[in-house]
């Protein structure tokens, strides 16, 4: 193994500087102020540290005060774990995945006690995340039960969240038990058909707000659309694609900002739009359109996915001028749902990259590397051998939690977009894995 001393590292610098600048070949798609990092350690090292990061997260399942996330954040963690195995052609985490996904299928808490539908609680977005996790498990490990659970969530949300013509006629979501949340058939002259309620409205606990919650959200609709698109791709059943189009076209009618990013939700009673703008809403939208465009050979859909991808990678709403996502930054010792939003953007850029033109693929690859570069150098336990990652992707690192680990794993998975030639063929270990 070649280990560079500090002195030999110094002699290496002029050599690197003499190479043509990587920035010369930067794609025009990303802002010119963005950095263009390059790997300084081998691909094998990167996979090895990354495997340790996954192992580290799994180790948090152990102990009485388990820090492995539960609920939707946990389901995103299992998604990443299965995706790692799928991409690495391994079954390293199969046993643990199966144990915990099976456990979650029958213990999602909340409204499960009322509906008894695997993976479904009171929130249709939670059910969507869980179904996508189960689908990832099916792709990685092949167990038909994982596909069956995902299909059952699709049917469940179709019946307890998706707005059908019968709901518009009735003036409320027919299949929920409390018919007292008024639904406007049209808002701003546009039909509400196809939106997906955030909650499924079981009456088991009035404090859950279920049937009393009038919000129809981008996240529940986007997840349903993406789930439908993926089920359509995997099963070949066109019905899933049709429903997915209906849900995503509802988002088109109500929640697209002038710049193409996605607003958060609309109150189905008052028609009021909430203009919060998060990474994961744009992410699900571009992911669903990317898959639908590919499966149904729809160039319009692929172009929408491409435009939202480009806007997401360049918007100052959540990117620093170096290109690092700062959404969800905050007190690093505290949890917050938004910590895991940004990683959903990385996951969905990764998802659609294969169907994009080469200049967009190159931009996505570089954007992923920028996140990894910042995580490694400013938000990890050791830039030369990063295993644990923290909350603020822009730094600085103090501590990792199960939730911050889940978010970082999406970036580690997406590094597969780099060709082998992006990594130096050396055994260097005494410098940061990636630098500029
Ligand atoms: C949890 O602890 C047990 C017993 O020490 C060990 O066999 C298992 O591998 C650990 N699981 C994880 C995920 O670290
Ligand atoms: C993992 O599954 C076990 C049941 O086998 C359960 O006791 C534990 O709470 C689960 N942990 C998480 C974080 O889902
Ligand atoms: C809906 O109806 C139930 C039963 O009448 C009532 O308890 C609840 O407060 C109502 N919810 C709203 C938001 O009006
Ligand atoms: C939705 O709009 C209705 C009617 O204006 C209002 O009473 C209700 O408080 C709103 N709900 C939320 C969650 O904003
Ligand atoms: C392609 O997607 C666009 C945008 O949703 C839609 O308007 C159009 O009908 C779709 N075309 C087909 C053939 O599905
Ligand atoms: C990217 O460039 C555009 C146009 O110059 C600018 O408006 C935007 O703020 C830049 N984004 C970031 C994250 O720096
Ligand atoms: C994390 O980010 C927040 C928001 O930008 C900032 O207030 C905080 O100081 C950062 N924490 C650390 C440890 O850098
Ligand atoms: C961050 O949160 C911890 C734990 O809640 C708290 O003790 C600490 O004072 C907070 N730090 C800041 C800078 O607010
Ligand atoms: C790390 O943080 C410092 C100080 O905030 C900042 O100047 C630098 O650009 C950051 N580096 C990376 C790799 O994000
Ligand atoms: C890296 O190390 C491995 C194992 O020690 C060795 O087989 C390989 O030849 C080394 N590669 C280089 C480029 O030095």
Q: Is pLDDT above 80 for 248?
A: yes
- Tens digit of pLDDT for each residue in 306-362? 999 999 999 999 999 999 999 999 999 999 999 999 999 999 999 999 999 999 999
Q: Which residue has the tokens 């590094």?
A: 415
DSSP label at residue 320: -
Q: Does the C-beta of 358 come closer than 6 Å to ligand 5? A: no
pLDDT, residue 206, reads 55
Which of 180, 198, 202, 209 is the best mutation target for the ligand 3 pocket, counting ligand atoms within 8 Å of the beta carbon and taking the most? Answer: 180
Record the pTM. Answer: 0.92
- Tens digit of pLDDT for each residue in 178-213? 667 899 999 999 999 999 999 987 765 555 555 568
- Report the candidate in 101, 190, 79, 191 with the shortest Cα–Cα distance to residue 149: 101
Q: Is pLDDT above 50 for 21?
A: no
Whole-number Å distance, alpha carbon 81 to ligand 2 midpoint, is 15
- Under the banding of pLDDT at 50, 70 and 90, the label for residue 82 is very high
Whole-number Å distance, alpha carbon 245 to ligand 5 midpoint, is 8
pLDDT, residue 11, reads 35
Whole-number Å distance, alpha carbon 41 to ligand 7 midpoint, is 29
Instruction: Burial-class residue 290 by CB neighbours within 10 Å (0-12, 13-18, 19+).
Output: buried
> In this structure, which residue's CA is closest to atom 10 in ligand 8?
331
* Lowest model confidence (mean pLDDT) among 9-18, 27-36, 127-136, 231-240: 9-18
Nearest ligand, measured from the Cα of 73: 2
- Nearest ligand 7 atom to the CA of 396 is 14
Which of 324, 326, 327, 330 is the best mutation target for the ligand 7 pocket, counting ligand atoms within 8 Å of the beta carbon and taking the most? Answer: 330
- Report the candidate in 247, 86, 235, 268 with the shortest Cα–Cα distance to residue 157: 247
Q: Does the C-beta of 296 come closer than 6 Å to ligand 5? A: yes
> In this structure, which residue's CA is closest to atom 5 in ligand 2?
99
Tell me if 268 sits within 8 A of 197, measured CB to CB: yes
**Cα–Cα distances in Å, from 33 out to 30, 36, 49, 261, 379?**
8, 10, 29, 21, 21
Per the rule left: phi > 0, alpha: psi between -120 and 50, beta: everything else, 37 is beta
Q: At what angle do helices 299-314 and 358-378 cross, to 10 degrees?
A: 30
Contacts of 424 (CB under 8 A, 6+ apart): 39, 40, 41, 42
- Nearest ligand 4 atom to the CA of 213 is 13
Q: Is pLDDT above 50 for 233?
A: yes
- Tens digit of pLDDT for each residue in 369-427? 999 999 999 999 999 999 999 999 999 999 999 999 999 999 999 999 999 999 999 99
- Under the banding of pLDDT at 50, 70 and 90, the label for residue 110 is confident
CA-based end-to-end distance of the chain: 24
Q: Does the C-beta of 106 come closer than 6 Å to ligand 2? A: no
Percent of the chain scored above 70 by pLDDT? 91
């Amino acid at each position: 193994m070649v280990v560079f001393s500090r002195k030999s590292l110094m002699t290496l610098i002029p050599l690197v500087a003499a190479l043509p600048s990587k920035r010369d070949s930067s794609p025009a798609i990303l802002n010119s102020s963005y950095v263009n990092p390059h790997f300084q350690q081998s691909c094998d090292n990167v996979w090895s540290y990354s495997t340790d990061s996954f192992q580290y997260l799994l180790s948090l399942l152990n102990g009485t005060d388990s820090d492995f996330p539960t609920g939707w954040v946990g389901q995103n963690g299992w998604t990443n774990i299965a995706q790692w195995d799928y991409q690495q052609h391994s079954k390293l985490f199969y046993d643990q995945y199966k144990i915990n996904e099976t456990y979650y299928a029958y213990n999602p808490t909340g409204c499960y006690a009322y509906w008894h539908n695997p993976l479904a609680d009171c929130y249709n977005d939670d059910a969507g995340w869980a179904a996508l996790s189960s689908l990832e498990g099916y792709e990685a490990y092949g167990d038909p039960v994982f596909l069956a659970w995902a299909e059952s969530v699709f049917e469940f949300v179709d019946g307890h969240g998706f707005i059908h013509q019968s709901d518009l006629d009735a003036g409320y979501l027919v299949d929920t038990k409390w018919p007292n949340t008024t639904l406007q058939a049209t808002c701003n002259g546009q039909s509400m058909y196809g939106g997906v309620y955030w909650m499924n409205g079981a009456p088991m606990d009035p404090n859950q707000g279920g049937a009393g919650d009038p919000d129809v959200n981008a996240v529940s609709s986007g997840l349903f659309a993406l789930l439908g698109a993926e089920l359509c791709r995997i099963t070949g059943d066109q019905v899933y694609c049709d429903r997915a189009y209906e849900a995503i076209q509802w988002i088109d009618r109500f929640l697209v900002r002038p710049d193409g990013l996605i607003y958060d939700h609309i109150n189905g009673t008052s028609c009021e739009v909430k203009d919060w703008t998060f990474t994961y809403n744009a992410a699900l939208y571009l992911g669903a359109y990317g898959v639908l465009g590919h499966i149904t050979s729809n160039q319009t859909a692929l172009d929408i996915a491409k435009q939202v991808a480009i806007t997401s990678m360049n918007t100052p709403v959540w990117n620093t001028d170096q290109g690092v996502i700062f959404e969800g930054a905050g007190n690093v010792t505290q949890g917050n749902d938004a910590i895991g939003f940004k990683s959903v953007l990385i996951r969905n850029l990764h998802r659609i990259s294969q169907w994009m033109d080469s200049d967009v693929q190159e931009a996505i690859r570089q954007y992923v590397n920028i996140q990894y570069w910042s995580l490694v150098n400013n938000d990890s336990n050791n830039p030369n051998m990063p295993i644990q990652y923290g909350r603020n992707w822009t730094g600085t690192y103090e501590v990792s939690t199960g939730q911050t680990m889940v978010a970082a794993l999406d970036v580690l998975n997406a590094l597969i977009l780099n060709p082998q030639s992006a990594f130096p063929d050396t055994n260097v270990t005494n410098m940061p894995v990636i630098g500029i």
